[in-house]
């Protein structure tokens, strides 16, 4: 392993990216954080600006970037439906043009590159839990397609650059992740439920709450991404990264209410189009190849996330 590696993190000021930047700095890497701040915030990395090994650059990866780096983590793309549906054409461009530009950069400087893909490549799955061998059930014409198909195309580009150019690539399929620095208005269930509960507003559940998800704390996910990057070159993935503990959305809402003294009640609304009824990763491959599995229980992770949002709202 190279010492003092120079690492590029696109989307580095985002929720997951900012935690990854922290961990890379702790390891002793030089970190170049690139972000266009479409859904992220400078405040997520403000505490890193005084570190001499950290550099923040405003840049949109749909345009080429010319830097010298040893590794690239490509995390740039709005990941919450409320954000990626706001400008669906740009969302697809970020996934596809962004992948092309970052792969081109990696090819020029002979860097290893990791793609942050998503469980959304499985669409509304007909196989449960979802193994990496499952090709998915994705609607190419729906309101979520800009994200789902953009990420699927990005994966294709990564594998083809590996086959055609011998590029060292890694592909992680990230399942639902939560923790401090989530955007308070990103529309995801964990942040939605916590923000609504802290404000004493009704907790909004779409559908009857029986749909399931599996929630991975951000620290566990970042550890998985770094292990994947460090893994042998022959292992390129894709590899699922998420928590295989499955629970219903209603159970999650009740768990949040249990942590907070709030008058909030549960209210039920119509389920959005193409919202998958079940989502759970099969992480046998990550366990076998990376020795990785999540270790932070949901309640502990929720406590840390609630504390973050309490502090965030106290500063407003």
CA dihedral angle for residue 302, residue 280, residue 296, residue 294, rounded to 10 degrees? -150
Active-site residue, from 38, 147, 161, 178 = 147
What is the Cα gyration radius of the chain?
19
Q: Which of 86-100, 155-169, 268-282 tops mean pLDDT?
A: 155-169
- Could you read off the pLDDT of 175-213 as tens digits, one per residue? 999 999 998 887 788 999 999 999 999 999 988 888 888
Tokens of 38: 């479409």
- Is 147 tagged catalytic? yes
> What's this model's pTM, rounded to 2 decimal places?
0.94
Please give the C-alpha separations between residue 140 and each of 108, 133, 154, 274, 279, in angstroms, as whole numbers.
33, 20, 15, 11, 19
CA neighbor of 283 nearest in space, from 174, 177, 178, 189: 174
- Could you read off the pLDDT of 121-154 as tens digits, one per residue? 999 889 999 999 999 999 999 888 888 999 999 9
Sign of CA dihedral 137, 169, 99, 74: positive
The band of 111, judged by pLDDT with boundaries at 50, 70 and 90, is very high
Higher pLDDT, 72 or 86: 72
Least confident of 147-161, 243-257, 265-279: 265-279
Structural domains of the chain in order of their starting residue, each with its CATH number: 6-177+218-243+280-295 (3.40.50.720)
The count of residues in the chain is: 316
Helices (H), 80-174: 81-84, 88-109, 145-165
- Residue 142's pLDDT is what? 87
User: What does residue 12 show for φ and ψ, rounded to 5 degrees?
Assistant: -70, -15
């Amino acid at each position: 392993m190279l010492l003092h590696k120079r690492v590029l993190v696109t989307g580095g000021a985002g929720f997951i990216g900012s935690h990854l930047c922290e961990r890379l700095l702790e390891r002793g890497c030089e970190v170049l954080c690139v972000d266009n701040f479409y859904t992220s915030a400078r405040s997520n990395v403000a505490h890193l600006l005084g570190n001499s090994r950290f550099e923040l650059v405003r840049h949109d990866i749909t345009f080429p970037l010319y830097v010298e780096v040893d590794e690239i983590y490509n995390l740039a793309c709005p990941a919450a439906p409320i954000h990626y549906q706001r400008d669906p054409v740009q969302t697809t461009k970020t996934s596809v043009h962004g992948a092309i530009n970052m792969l081109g950069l990696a090819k020029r400087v002979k860097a290893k590159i990791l793609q942050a893909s998503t469980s959304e490549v499985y669409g509304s799955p007909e196989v449960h839990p979802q193994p990496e061998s499952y090709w998915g059930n994705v609607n190419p014409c729906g309101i979520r397609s800009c994200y789902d198909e953009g990420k699927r195309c990005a994966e294709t580009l990564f594998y083809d650059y590996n086959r055609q150019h011998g590029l060292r690539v890694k592909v992680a399929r990230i399942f639902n992740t939560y923790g401090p620095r989530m955007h308070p208005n990103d529309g995801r269930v964990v942040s939605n439920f916590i923000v609504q509960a802290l404000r004493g507003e009704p907790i909004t559940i779409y559908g009857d709450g029986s749909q399931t998800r599996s929630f991975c704390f951000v620290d566990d996910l970042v550890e998985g991404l770094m292990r994947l990057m460090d893994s042998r070159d022959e292992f390129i993935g894709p590899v699922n990264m998420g928590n295989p503990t499955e629970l219903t959305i209603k159970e999650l809402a009740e768990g949040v209410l249990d942590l907070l003294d709030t008058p909030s009640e549960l209210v039920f609304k119509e389920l959005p189009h193409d919202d998958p009824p079940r989502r759970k990763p099969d992480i046998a491959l990550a366990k076998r190849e990376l020795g990785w599995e999540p270790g932070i229980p949901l309640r502990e992770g929720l406590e840390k996330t609630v504390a973050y949002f309490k502090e965030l709202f106290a500063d407003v």
